[in-house]
Amino acid sequence: MYFFETYLDLRQHSALKLPTLPRTLVGVISQDKFQKSRAYSLDKSRFHFVHEFVTIVMDSTILFFGVLPWFWKKSEHFVTLVGLNAENEILHTLSFLAGVMIWSQITDLPFSLYSTFVIEARHGFNKQTILLFFRDMIKSIVLSILIGPPIVAAIIVIVQKGGPYLAIYLWAFMFVLSIVMMTVYPVLIAPLFNKFTPLPDGQLREKIEKLAASLKFPLKKLFVIDGSTRSSHSNAYMYGFFKNKRIVLYDTLVQQCKDDEEVVAVIAHELGHWKLNHTVYSFVAVQILTLLQFGGYTLVRNSTDLFRSFGFDTQPVLIGLILFQHTVIPIQHLVSFGLNLVSRAFEFQADAFAKKLGYASALRSGLVKLQEENLSAMNTDPWYSAYHYSHPPLVERLAAIDKSDKKDD
Catalytic residues: 270, 351
Task: Compute the 3-state secondary structure of the chain and give helix, strand, coil in percent, each to the nearest 5.
Answer: 75, 5, 20
Q: Strands of 106-260 (E only): list them.
A: 196-198, 219-225, 236-239, 245-250
DSSP class of 200 = P
Looking at the DSSP assignment, which residues form a beta bridge with residue 250? 225
- Whether residue 273 is annotated as binding a ligand: the answer is yes
Q: How far apart are CA 405 and CA 339, in angstroms?
A: 28
Do the bridges between strand 245-250 and strand 219-225 make them parallel or antiparallel, or are there none, so unpaired?
A: parallel
Looking at the DSSP assignment, which residues form a beta bridge with residue 248? 223, 237
- Whether residue 206 is annotated as binding a ligand: the answer is no
Specify whether the CB–CB gap between 355 and 403 falls below 8 A: no
Burial of 253 (0-12, 13-18, 19+ CB in 10 A): buried
Residue 22, helix vs strand vs coil: coil
Rg of the Cα atoms in the chain: 24
Specify whether the CB–CB gap between 169 and 158 falls below 8 A: yes
Among candidates 399, 401, 407, 395, which has minimal Cα distance to 362? 401
- Whether residue 347 is annotated as binding a ligand: the answer is yes
Q: What kind and span of H or E run contains 131?
A: helix 130-161
Specify whether the CB–CB gap between 192 and 139 falls below 8 A: yes
Q: How far apart are CA 366 and CA 371, in angstroms?
A: 8
Query: Which amino acids are annotated as binding site, given as ranges?
Result: 269, 273, 347
Query: Which amino acids are annotated as binding site for Zn(2+), given as ranges?
Result: 269, 273, 347
